[in-house]
Structure 1
C-alpha cells in the first residue's frame, strides 16, 4: 500500500528519514510518496490545504500528515477513514479534515493502542513514535478499529477557513499560502471573480498592507510581460497573485493570513 507523507519537518534534519525508517521496519513493502516536507513550521492551514489539493492525484492508501504545533499537549492523535477507502493519520488540529471530508469521514479513531506505536514515545516527536508507526501498521493491513476508541467525526477539530467578501465591486481576499516561487494563493476561485465581472484581461488594483499596485487578470504567465503583476487561476483552481519572472510575496510584502483588496479599474 502507498503512504503519502506531508510534514513541516524540512529536509535539513533527520526527521523525515527517521520516519521513513520507522515505516519500512514495520511495513517493508509500503511505498512512500513524499508530497512535501516544506510546509512552513506550524502552518497547519497551509498543510491542510496542500493535503486537500494533492489528494485527487494520490493513489488510494494512507495519508500521513504531521504539522503539529500542539505536540506533547492535549490534542488527540487520529486515524480516519473516508468513504473512498483512504486512511489518514495525524494530529487532531484540523490538518486532516479538508482532505478527509472531500469523500466524507466514515470512521475516526484515537491512536491509543500502544501495540501500534514505538515502545518509547517522545513528548516532542510524535511523527516518529506515534504517527509513522500507525501509518505503517495501517498500510500493512491492521484494521482501523484496532487503534483505539472511536471518535464522533463531528467532534474533530476543524479549521476556520476565511471567506472572501464582496462590497461594491471590491473583493476582500485572504492570502492562504505562499509557494516557493513567491506566488500568493488566495481564498478565491474563478467563479467568485466572474460573478462580479472580473474576467481575463481586466485591469485591477491590488491593495496589500496599505500599499497599492496594478495587476492584470491573466490566464497564463505568458499573457504578461516580465515584471507584470498578474491575478491568475492556479493549478488547483484558486486565484493567485504572481509576478511574471518575479516574486510577488516579496515585492508586495505579503504574508499568509494577510488581507488583500481587489478593485477593477
Structure 2
C-alpha cells in the first residue's frame, strides 16, 4: 500500500469492540467507554469480555481471534498488557476485515489472521491522538481507547504513527500439535467458563478416530517425547475412556466427550460438569488423544 493510499480516510466503523483483563470490580472499563464516548459519542461499543485472566495473553488472543470474525466490521481494541509502560510498542493493525488496536505482545496477530491477515501496521506515537498525559500503567485509557475512537470515525491509520513492518510484530509461540499413528498430541489452548477444554488440534484430526477414544497426558508416550520440545509437558500417568461425539449430550451425564467445538478445534467436555477440573489440566498441558483399541483393558488405566 502506498503512503498516499494509507492516508486516505475510511468510512466510519460499524462498531468498536473491547476485550481486556480489567475485570468488573473497578472503573477501568467504564473509563475506557468514557474516553471513546468523548471522541465518538454515537459509536456502538461491544464488550467482548473483561474477564480474561490477568496478564494471560494467550487466553486473550484466543478469545479475540475466535470472536472478531463474528462481529460487525470495525475497530477491535484488546488490552491484556503485562508489559504496559515498558518498551513494548502500542500498535494498530489494518486487515481486510477491520482494524485491531492494542499492545504489540502477540495479543492481536491471531485475530488479524482471522480477519484476513495484516495489510499494514503502525506504531501509536502521534501525541495529538493520545491523552495529554499518558500514564505508565493505563494505556487502555490513554493510548488505545482514544486512538481506536478516532480510527472508528474514519481517520487514516497512517496518521496514528509511523509504519511498522508486519514481520517485526511480536508473535506468540504456536501451540503444539503432533500427529501420531493412532491419534495425536495437542496442547490445551483455553478453558472456558463452563470448564470445556479446547485443544490446539483442528477438529478434522478427530475424523478417523472411533466412537470411543483414550485421553491422557503426553508424558511417557513412546511415540512422542515432550522433553525434546520447547513447549510445556503433561501432568502425570493417567488415561481415560472418552466418548467421541458431536455434542455434550452424546455422553452420559458426568462423563467425558471429545468433540469438535464451535471454533473448529478439538475440545473435551463433561456432560453437566467441568472437564478441566475432572482432568486437572490447564492451558499449556499436553494431552494425547488416541483410538480406543486396547483389548481387555476395562479399568481405564495404563501403566
TM band (smaller chain): over 0.9
Aligned to 2:214, what secondary structure does the other structure show? strand
Separation in structure 2 between the aligned mates of residue 32 and residue 218 of structure 1, nearest angstrom: 37
**Match of 1:239?**
266
Q: Tell me the TM-score normalized by structure 1.
A: 0.95
Q: Tell me the TM-score normalized by structure 2.
A: 0.83
**Match of 2:188?**
175
Task: Report which of the two has the higher share of strand.
Answer: 1
Separation in structure 1 between the aligned mates of residue 240 and residue 92 of structure 2, nearest angstrom: 45
**Match of 2:225?**
none
Separation in structure 1 between the aligned mates of residue 30 and residue 268 of structure 2, nearest angstrom: 34
**Match of 1:212?**
239
Contact in 2 for aligned 1:206/1:215 (Cα 8 Å) = no
Offset from partner CA, 1:196-238 (integer Å, 9 cap, x none): x215x23323336213222111101111111101111111111
2:213 alignment partner, one of 192, 203, 221: 203
Offset from partner CA, 1:126-182 (integer Å, 9 cap, x none): 011110111111112221111111011111111111131123324211110100111
- Residue 190 (structure 1) shift: 2.0
**Match of 2:223?**
none
**Match of 1:97?**
109
- Alignment gaps of 5+ in structure 2: 1-12, 218-233, 293-303
- When the two chains are superposed, the root-mean-square deviation of aligned CA atoms in Å is 1.3
Contact in 2 for aligned 1:205/1:264 (Cα 8 Å) = no
What is the number of equivalent residue pairs in this alignment?
261
Contact in 2 for aligned 1:233/1:239 (Cα 8 Å) = yes
1:1-265 correspondence to structure 2 within 5 Å: 1=13, 2-84=15-97, 86-102=98-114, 103-194=116-207, 197-199=208-210, 201-207=211-217, 209-210=235-236, 211-265=238-292
Aligned to 2:119, what secondary structure does the other structure show? strand
Contact in 2 for aligned 1:216/1:230 (Cα 8 Å) = yes
Aligned to 1:105, what secondary structure does the other structure show? coil
- Residue 45 (structure 1) shift: 1.3
Select between 112-121 and 167-176 the one with higher mean Cα deviation.
167-176
